[in-house]
């Protein structure tokens, strides 16, 4: 099931920059109208060339028993010469690890597991032969079961966006995406502030650094404080370490403990959360805390020297939809003044 004119697989899908509205980018920088859609926490995937591709544009190996539920979408993609850009996701098993396991066939597929399509990108647009506004690429109807065309709502003001965010905060979802409907589909990070490009003209407007093509809002909690009580060492895997393949042949390979070497560089900060003495987290280092600083911190931990981080306080935020006992998406980590 291949197309006569294969798509340029080296071109990555459009991705939002690593910036969060309300944290890294102020709401006041937004221009309107915007298209607002729910943010899904699954596996980004593209149907193209009669196969499923990852966001890094390598063929994603899906267990055949799972893949057969989505064959009709690849048939549609080939017949219509479009790239189906979307995400595999289940609302009931809503983590990347669970989605990966479902696609590998290592855990049963829940009834709400489906392909959620963002865009149908024609071959000529994907290969940049011509450009059309993103609003013309939104997927609205796809055949068969286990498929959902992601709903986009037109937002005209900041108050309108914030009202939706506040009214759905109790639903335990990850967040929302905001898309400029007049922008063009762009491969890779969809920021118009790329250092190599500077300001980029979209239509007749010159956009400011705050006015990105695609932005995301996530439900992060308020600032929390935690005390550093230890440092975990950074692990490095041997390049020749054998992979342990799951019996299905499609799960992500794992490695034995002996495949890793313990380095003299700190990997994460082991912290106890203020007011929750039994709640420990492994927090990443603040942005800008380089490898040499992490090496010194690991060597001097508990020494009382200027590099000692023992009992140092940090401030951080985490996603509200995550298990509080196992936070993963910790953000805005900062060292703070002592509280003792």
Of 62, 148, 142, 65, nearest in space to 113 by CA: 148
- The total of structural domains in the chain comes to 2
Scan for tokens 């953000």, then name that residue: 331
State whether 158 and 187 are in the same domain. Answer: yes
Alpha carbon dihedral 336, 338, 339, 340, in 10-degree steps, equals 160
Per-residue model confidence as pLDDT tens for the chain (340 residues): 554 555 665 788 998 888 888 888 888 878 899 999 999 888 999 999 999 999 888 899 999 999 999 999 999 999 999 999 999 999 888 788 889 999 999 999 999 999 999 999 999 999 888 888 999 999 999 999 999 999 999 999 999 999 999 999 998 888 999 999 988 888 887 654 443 333 333 333 444 445 578 899 999 989 999 999 999 999 888 777 677 667 677 767 676 677 778 899 999 999 998 887 778 889 999 988 999 999 999 999 999 999 999 999 999 998 888 766 666 678 889 998 876 6
State whether 69 and 194 are in the same domain. Answer: yes
Decide which of 192, 218, 244 is a domain's last residue: 218
State whether 203 and 228 are in the same domain. Answer: no
Map 47-80 to HEC letters.
EECCEEECCCCCECCCCHHHHHHHHHHHHHHHHH
Q: The tokens of 76 are what?
A: 């549609």
State whether 213 and 240 are in the same domain. Answer: no
For the entire predicted model, the pTM comes to 0.81
Q: Which domain holds residue 49?
A: 14-218
Decide which of 218, 234, 267 is a domain's last residue: 218
């Amino acid at each position: 099931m291949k197309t006569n004119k294969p798509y340029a697989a080296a071109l990555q899908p459009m991705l939002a920059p690593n910036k969060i509205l309300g944290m890294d980018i102020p709401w006041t920088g937004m221009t309107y109208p915007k298209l607002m859609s729910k943010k899904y926490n699954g596996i980004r995937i593209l149907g193209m060339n009669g196969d499923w591709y990852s966001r890094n544009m390598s063929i994603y190996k899906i267990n055949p028993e799972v893949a057969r539920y989505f064959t009709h979408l690849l048939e549609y993609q080939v017949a219509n010469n479009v790239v189906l850009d979307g995400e595999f996701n289940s609302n009931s098993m809503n983590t990347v690890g669970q989605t990966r396991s479902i696609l590998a066939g290592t855990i049963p597929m829940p009834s709400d597991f489906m392909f959620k399509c963002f865009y149908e990108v024609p071959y000529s647009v994907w290969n940049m032969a011509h450009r059309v506004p993103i609003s013309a690429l939104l997927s609205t109807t796809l055949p068969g079961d286990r498929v959902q065309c992601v709903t986009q709502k037109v937002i005209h003001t900041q108050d309108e966006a914030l009202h939706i965010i506040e009214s759905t905060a109790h639903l335990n979802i990850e967040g929302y995406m905001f898309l400029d409907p007049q922008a063009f589909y762009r491969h890779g990070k969809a920021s118009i502030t790329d250092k190599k490009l500077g300001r980029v003209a979209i239509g007749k407007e010159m956009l400011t650094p705050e006015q990105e093509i695609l932005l995301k809002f996530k439900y992060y909690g308020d600032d929390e404080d935690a005390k550093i009580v230890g440092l975990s060492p950074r692990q490095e895997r041997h390049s020749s370490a054998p992979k342990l393949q799951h019996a299905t042949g499609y799960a992500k390979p794992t490695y034995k403990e002996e495949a890793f070497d313990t380095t003299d560089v700190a990997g994460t900060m082991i912290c106890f959360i203020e007011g929750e003495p039994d709640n420990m987290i492994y927090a990443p280092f603040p942005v800008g805390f380089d490898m040499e600083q992490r090496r010194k911190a690991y060597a001097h931990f508990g020494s009382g020297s200027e590099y000692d981080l023992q009992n140092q306080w940090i401030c951080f935020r985490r996603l509200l939809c995550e298990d509080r006992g196992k936070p993963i998406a910790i953000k805005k980590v900062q060292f703070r003044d002592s509280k003792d």
